[in-house]
Amino acid sequence: MRQILWGMLKKMVIADNCATYVNQVFDTYQTQSGSTLLLGAIFFSFQMYADFSGYSDMAIGVSKLLGFRITKNFDYPFFAQNIAEYWRKWHISLTSWLTDYVFMPLNVKWRDWGKWGMILAIIVNFVICGLWHGANWTFIVWGFYHGLLFVPLILSGAMFKKNKLNTYKWGFPKLKVLFNILLTFSLITLGNIIFRANNLGEAFEYLKGMANMRLFSFSILTNGLALLLISIPLFLVVEWLQKNKEHGLTKMPSNLVLRWLIYVLICVIIYRFGVFNYSQFIYFQF
């Protein structure tokens, strides 16, 4: 029940409020400031994650109630320190399938080409991953883009290296870790603009508009924006504290009263700030 509740919070409060803002930005991107476009792209990354991982949490929670154990599909991917680690943590079921049935056979076939054979295999793997999402050039280019991000890791031999989330004694990530996380998130967010756009022309126009940066010049100011600017950092703090657990509500206070106060507070937040009109899960279209 805790995992279902956490999934509902992610979907109804984070993802669906992000969707409201993101749709406004992408529908009117030609008239928006660079700062607004940047914020819209960031919110879309959070929308995708909270929507799909929220759905996965709810599905896993319901399955547990029925006595079934479903494989974990997300492992806090926004704390990844490079693109390879990100894909080991994002949509794990799809990534595992592609690794076993696309990347590994191609890597073995082209092993005589050394690292360049591995690079070709990973690019083909992600182009196919893009096509899995739909027969659109945006998905193909998005897959190709992700494949290219692996090239520095393969050439440096760091593709399979596991990075530790080193922290200071009070729990904050060390500067190098924080830099790697922010860099990885930035690269993912740039790719997500291509994923979200209706066509390549729109994607490139959006990216071009972001270059016209006027800092803190936001064209779309709504109550939903204030909610997201508060809720997303709090959401990330909870996930960071639970990063070694199964989901955001795995470890709860032992005090019964405090624990139930948290449950009630989450229910109130969902009721007060959740989006209750019909909102389809993003990945239902794929």
What value does the mean pLDDT of the chain take?
92
Query: Can you give the pLDDT at residue 222?
Result: 63
SS (H, E, C) 160-203: CCCCCCCECCCCCECHHHHHHHHHHHHHHHHHHHHHHCCCHHHH
Query: Is residue 236 pLDDT above 60, yes or no?
Result: yes
Radius of gyration of the chain (CA): 20
Give pLDDT, residue 276.
Answer: 87
Q: What is the mean pLDDT of the segment spanning 179-197?
A: 97
Give the model's pLDDT for residue 283. 73
Reported as a single tens digit per residue, the pLDDT across 26-58 is 999 998 888 889 999 999 999 999 999 999 999
What percentage of the chain exceeds 90 in pLDDT? 79
Q: 187: which 2 tokens?
A: 């690269």
Q: Is 107 helix (H, G, I), strand (E, B) or coil?
A: helix
Q: What percent of the chain has pLDDT over 70?
A: 95
| AA letter at 222 | T
How high is the pLDDT of residue 241?
Answer: 93
Q: What is the pLDDT of residues 58-69, one digit of tens each?
A: 999 999 999 999
- Among the options 91, 133, 146, 247, which is catalytic? 133
Render pLDDT for 204-229 as a digit per residue (tens, 0 to 9). 999 999 887 665 566 665 667 888 99
Query: Over the stretch 148-178, which tens digit does the pLDDT of each residue have?
Result: 999 999 999 888 888 888 888 778 899 999 9
The pLDDT confidence band at residue 98, using thresholds 50, 70 and 90, is very high
Residue among 226, 225, 186 nearest 207 (CA):
186
Domain boundaries, the chain: 2-81+163-285
Tell me the CA end-to-end span of the chain in Å, nearest whole number: 27
**What pLDDT is attached to residue 33?**
84
Average pLDDT over residues 259-271: 96
Evaluate if residue 181 carries a pLDDT over 90. Answer: yes
Q: pTM score, two decimals?
A: 0.93
Residue 215: which residues within 8 A CB-CB, separation 6 or more?
A: 35
Q: Is 146 a catalytic residue?
A: no
Lowest mean pLDDT among 69-78, 211-220, 270-279: 211-220
How many whole angstroms separate alpha carbon 189 and alpha carbon 210?
12
